[in-house]
Structure 1
């Protein structure tokens, strides 16, 4: 579904991503793990059209998207739930969700609004509440629900558990499993390496812009190198 080849992304003279190649098959959860500054968020922002690569290519379902504008990438079936949630705090929960489907012209938007409420019942209960009054975990649910409103085939999730309690983190990860079971392909950036690798079909370890390890999620979870560097184990 997604193929990244030799991707290079720079901020001025600083190369944030240094020639990485990543493949995401349809129906998979693929995760990117690594320390801060490894290039994970930059990679997602480039896929979704918010950044332009210096070189390399990004293909979505066989079509190059690395020069396409962000709004077109959304209509092609790629949605991005960004780091830090980025909700609109003064707007209601329902207004935030409907903005996620702004590019759609079909008659099924209300059906997908109901689907978001089914996925996160608390959003239905507080649909008229200003989104800025939500807790961090509730805002994350809203951000994920908003991303799903464009009916994506590929969902980019950037640090969905950041700043959340262990219980809320478990709920978010269970939602990732639910979305996969419903047929959504997911590329996940996650600070909690153990939680990400447990549910990932495949994983990539990034260090300062380069991929240093890759493999099935469970294999990486069992790797001594990964356990020492990212799970705090000797």
Structure 2
């Protein structure tokens, strides 16, 4: 079954909006695991506008499932943090400074040598690596040449088109996943996946190992409760 990793950045955003420690991000990490999540994802950024570097260190202490740290490996502070914390997985995202949210995958052809270098740093430390990729065959083939363990398919395009033509929306992702699987890459996915489009995506990507979901799940939790939202999302991964 595909694993659900819950991204708790938005809980940290809410905390930071008022100062103090309400909601408690560390308790949230404990609770999402208790409520059935298969992992916890965080994406620290240099301005610490949501998850703080200190949060990452504290979350590591209470992880009982899997810990996935996303971020920009072109920031040395991020690299140092990952090597210090030793998560189960690091997901490398080509963010630009000040970017509101991730919006594209790596150009694995142009940045092949750089990715080989950075991925080897994390793999030597025993950390599973995943890199953000668009559903483009050349980028998937390029990813396989970097030494990464997995790719994370950037699913904003799928989510945007899902409501008008779900068959067309999922097609490039199914093709990209099949290519990745044939090349020995594990397949993760994330970005704008929600209660409505997750099931269809999962059904058409049988090789899918993990989805990382934050914004939509936390929004749903405002109405449904955190435990109920996690269970409903996990149900979408059953097929």
TM-score by length of 1: 0.43
More strand by share: 1
More helix by share: 2
Query: 1 or 2 for the larger relative contact order (CA 8 Å, sep ≥6)?
Result: 1
